Chains A and B, each alone.
Chain A
């Protein structure tokens, strides 16, 4: 059994702040949308704005961190056969008690599906939300002059779609993060302490994944 340091202090801070902000934005956003009623429209709209700017700041910081530390390489998609192996594992292997086909280390934090999922989160869902969100925030300014006649409708539609995708992402993420670790809540502990205990399963030797490096 090995205990390895997977999640640096900034990454953990980033993860939990992002989690907090995303949940806050989902709650307040769906209140502004009229789907739920918690704090009332005015507060929801105000908090949504504050949380949105906070998340934008956090994302800017995170992008900077990923670029300057080289961590961005952890989001490069894996070869297709590795992706297929992961799909096969979640679709078949996990039910048969087969070992996880992927092994983590400090520079291979994500399995091939996670790479794809997080990449799409940050280059598709994220931008969809923040681009439409900025358009939403600055609507009174662009609407009057540069794009007269253009309405809020497409902006609102895209922003709502982004919210639904984010919520779906959150559901899958919570399921996998909380139920698929070798030890109960192992991933949760890892994301709190930074350390994950690996190699508990003798069928998952560390060498299995050398080829993906």
Chain B
């Protein structure tokens, strides 16, 4: 009522402002027409959904770091930049030194294990101990070159590796987390020169981390592109829709922290303590913990929608989303390492030169420093029950060398309601261990000293130094044991048309062939039941046939007589 009154009121005012009544009517018609065309055009240019995806977001930045006096430089080294950052971001250092990114230590509240890169053993380069300067080129700090590193030194936090937006900041591979401050050659004797980064320019162009920042370490874990995870590699810098629907460079273009929500430098989602099932549903600010690291955080517990076969949503409680939606990993055109046999390292070719063999795609299948490798692309994961608990073999744990050693044991089974079937990259290999004390060796690989394996190629010396550095004794008797390490596959979510169809698992030798504790139609049957059923059916058919034949013959006989 009120609005109608107001309307007529404003109309009459507008009309009184017109010199001629006719002209005024024309004007109103023109206005209406313009309005109509405008609305139509607006609708065509920006359909309602397009605004949500694809279009570049407006900058929300409120500070131009290029205008800060403190960042004019020049800076002598990384820590000098950090001190400038901390001058304004007073709490950032305190936050960061508590994170796993910094401590490389992780207390698993569920299993009580002390994990983190500092404490675990893997079947890539095995352990960080005694190899610090090489490994810590992926630490978010500067100068972790031995086990005396000061984990409280806030000014040694490397702000730039995560916040550089220029793409020019690089930690030097052997620099213990520092970039090179003078021009340096890498790889050695390659003739490739790494120019030192322009720290002041980088500091003036800091911003929120992009995929490139996170990827500079996480895409290259294990010592090279795609080596470790298989679902994180250099193809994820600018992934296609087919590689990752969420990070699709021309589509949703998610950054890592779109899902791995970050506040106070604490990043959601942990490989050490993953959430195997999330029944919280869609995460709504104020109601939940603002952690968006699970699929369910955005897609909820009934993600397939009312138009989909309801059987799909009925799988959610037993099957992780990624089990169907990441049908293969290493799908971006890069290979991932699937096998690493340290026992064959150290070979030379017929000319006495260190041996390196590469496959036709340029991936090394043998490296004298590291042994034999197997690389694969488009890898079909292995599937296991998983409830979120992973038990790790940590430094010094006794192993059972009679079979394959599980470096991490994925817990969960069919009868456990918290368990779902998850996809894993299972990294396999052979690595050194002490045959007497039954502990996995900590080989001292990297260093300028003669004990380093990559100097002397003497396992005894390398293992002795490594074990003693971690407070253990070496018996002198080493061997190689086969190990496997299961990595939950979570990234490279495929377009929905490529998600696994039913028969991928519901068939005699399908993907779930090794998953026990459940009866799966199409995969399972009981031979005795099928034999009993066959007996019933074929017995009946046989009986009926005999009866029919008997009738035919008896009728013939009756007719004759």
Interface residues of A (CB under 8 A from B): 32-35, 40-42, 45-46, 49, 90, 94-97, 140, 144, 148-149, 151-153, 156-157, 160-161, 163-165, 167-168, 171-172, 175, 179
Do B518 and A152 have beta carbons less than 8 Å apart?
Answer: yes
- B529→A157 contact, CB < 8 A: yes
Closest 10 CB pairs of A and B: A164-B533, A95-B554, A140-B314, A152-B519, A41-B503, A168-B540, A42-B502, A175-B544, A153-B519, A41-B502
For the complex formed, measure the closest distance between the CB of A181 and the CB atoms of chain B, giving whole angstroms. Answer: 13
Q: How far is the CB of B420 from chain A (nearest CB, A)?
A: 12
B532 at the interface (CB under 8 A from A): yes
Q: List 7 A-B contacts (CB under 8 A).
A: A33-B522, A42-B502, A95-B551, A144-B317, A144-B417, A160-B533, A164-B536
Shortest distance from the beta carbon of B159 to any chain A beta carbon, whole Å: 47
Q: Given the complex, which residues of B lie within 8 Å of A41, measured CB to CB?
A: 502-503, 506-507, 522
Q: Which residues 499-532 of B have a CB within 8 angstroms of A?
A: 501-503, 506-508, 517-519, 521-526, 529-530, 532
* A156-B519 contact, Cβ under 8 Å, with A42-B502, A95-B550: yes
Interchain CB contact (< 8 A) of B519 among A97, A151, A167:
A151
**Distance in Å: Cβ of B155 to nearest Cβ of chain A:** 52
A45 touching B532, Cβ below 8 Å: no
Interface pair B502/A168, CB less than 8 Å apart: no
* In the complex with contacts A33-B521, A151-B519, A168-B537 CB distance below 8 A: yes
- Contact mask for chain B residues 416-438; partner A; CB cutoff 8 A; 1 contact, 0 none: 01000000000000000000000
Which of chain A's residues have a CB closer than 8 A to the CB of B537?
Answer: 164, 167-168, 171
Question: Which residues on B sit within 8 Å (CB–CB) of A32?
Answer: 506, 521-522
- Interface readout for B434-460 with A: 1 if CB under 8 Å, 0 if not? 000000000000000000000000000
CB distance from A27 to the nearest CB of B (A): 14
Q: How far is the CA of A41 from the CA of B556 in the complex (A)?
A: 48
Contacting B540 at CB < 8 Å: which of A33, A161, A171? A171
Cβ distance A53 to chain B, nearest Cβ, rounded Å:
12
Size category of the B interface is 35 or more
Given A140-B318, A153-B519; 13 other pairs, CB 8 A cutoff: A33-B525, A41-B502, A42-B502, A45-B506, A90-B547, A156-B521, A156-B524, A157-B529, A160-B529, A161-B529, A164-B537, A165-B536, A172-B544
When distances are taken between beta carbons in the complex, the residues of chain B under 8 Å from A160 are 525-526, 529-530, 533
Nearest residue, chain A, Cβ from B502? A42
Within 8 Å by CB of A172, from B532, B540, B551, lies: B540
A164 to B474 alpha-carbon distance, docked (Å): 65
How many Cβ-Cβ contacts under 8 Å join chain A to chain B?
Answer: 91
Contact status A164-B309, CB under 8 Å: no
In angstroms, Cα B539 to Cα A165, docked, is 11
With a CB–CB cut-off of 8 A, which chain A residues contact B550?
95
Q: Are A34 and B529 in contact (CB under 8 A)?
A: no
State A57–B234 Cα separation when bound (angstroms).
56
Most buried by A among B415, B517, B522: B522
CB atoms of A161 and B533 under 8 A apart: yes
Closest chain-B Cβ to A114's Cβ sits at a distance in Å of: 16
B65: shortest Cβ distance to chain A, in Å?
52
> Is B414 an interface position by the 8 A CB rule?
yes
Question: Chain B contacts of A163 at CB under 8 A?
Answer: 533
Q: From B550, which residue of chain A is reached at the shortest CB distance? A: A95
Q: Which B residues are in CB contact (< 8 Å) with A168?
A: 536-537, 539-540
Chain B residues, Cβ within 8 Å of A94: 551
Is B555's CB within 8 Å of the partner chain A?
A: yes
A105 to chain B, nearest CB (A): 26
Distance of A94 Cα from B547 Cα, bound (Å): 10
Hey, which chain A residues are within 8 Å of B548, CB to CB?
175, 179
CA distance A208 to B558 in the complex (A): 25
Asked whether A45 and B502 contact (CB < 8 A) given A34-B508, A151-B414, the answer is yes
CA distance A196 to B523 in the complex (A): 47
A168 vs B532: C-alpha distance in the bound complex, in angstroms? 12
Chain A interface mostly? helix
Binding site for A on B (CB under 8 A): 309, 311, 314-315, 317-318, 414-415, 417, 501-503, 506-508, 517-519, 521-526, 529-530, 532-534, 536-537, 539-541, 544, 547-548, 550-551, 554-555, 558
User: Nearest Cβ distance between residue A116 and chain B, in whole angstroms?
Assistant: 16
Q: Which residues of B contact A140 (CB under 8 A)?
A: 314-315, 317-318
A7 vs B551: C-alpha distance when bound (angstroms): 28
How far in angstroms is the closest Cβ of chain A from B193?
57
Closest CB of chain A to B490's CB: distance in Å? 24
Nearest chain B CB to A186's CB is how many angstroms away?
16
Give chain A residues whose Cβ lies under 8 Å from the Cβ of B502. 41-42, 45
Complex Cα spacing A140 to B311, Å: 9
Question: Given the complex, which residues of A lie within 8 Å of B541, measured CB to CB?
Answer: 171
Contact residues in A for B540 (Cβ distance below 8 Å): 168, 171-172
Chain B residue nearest to A41 in the complex (CB): B503
Q: How far is the CA of A33 from the CA of B524 in the complex (A)?
A: 8
A141 nearest CB neighbor, chain B only: B314
Closest CB in chain A relative to B503 CB, distance in Å: 4
Q: Give the nearest-CB partner of A145 in chain B.
A: B417
By the criterion CB–CB under 8 Å, are B558 and A164 in contact?
no
- How far, in angstroms, from A34 to B503 measured CA to CA in the complex? 10
What is the bound-complex CA distance between A160 and B530, given in angstroms? 8
Interfacial chain B residues near A161, Cβ < 8 Å = 529, 532-533
> Distance in Å from the Cβ of B296 to the closest Cβ of chain A?
16
> B310 — nearest CB in chain A belongs to which residue?
A49
* Nearest B residue (CB) for A40: B503
| Most chain A beta carbons < 10 A, residue from B314, B501, B507, B533 | B533
- Residue among A144, A151, A168 with the highest chain B CB neighbour number at 10 A: A168
**Residue of A whose beta carbon sits closest to that of B415:** A149
Whether B536 lies near A34 (C-beta < 8 A) is no
Nearest-neighbour CB distance to chain A for B71, whole angstroms, equals: 56
Q: Which B residues are CB-close (under 8 A) to A164?
A: 532-534, 536-537
With CB as the reference atom, state the residue of chain B lying closest to A48.
B521
- A42 to B503, Cβ gap below 8 A? yes
Using CB atoms, name the residue of chain B closest to A96.
B554
Kindly report which residue of chain A lies nearest to residue B517, judged by CB atoms. Answer: A151
- Residues in B with CB closer than 8 Å to A179 are 548, 551
Docked-complex contact A34 and B555, CB < 8 angstroms: no
In Å, the complex CA distance between A97 and B554 comes to 8
List, in ascending order, chain B residues with CB within 8 A of A175's CB. Answer: 544, 547-548
A101 to B52, CA, bound (A): 79
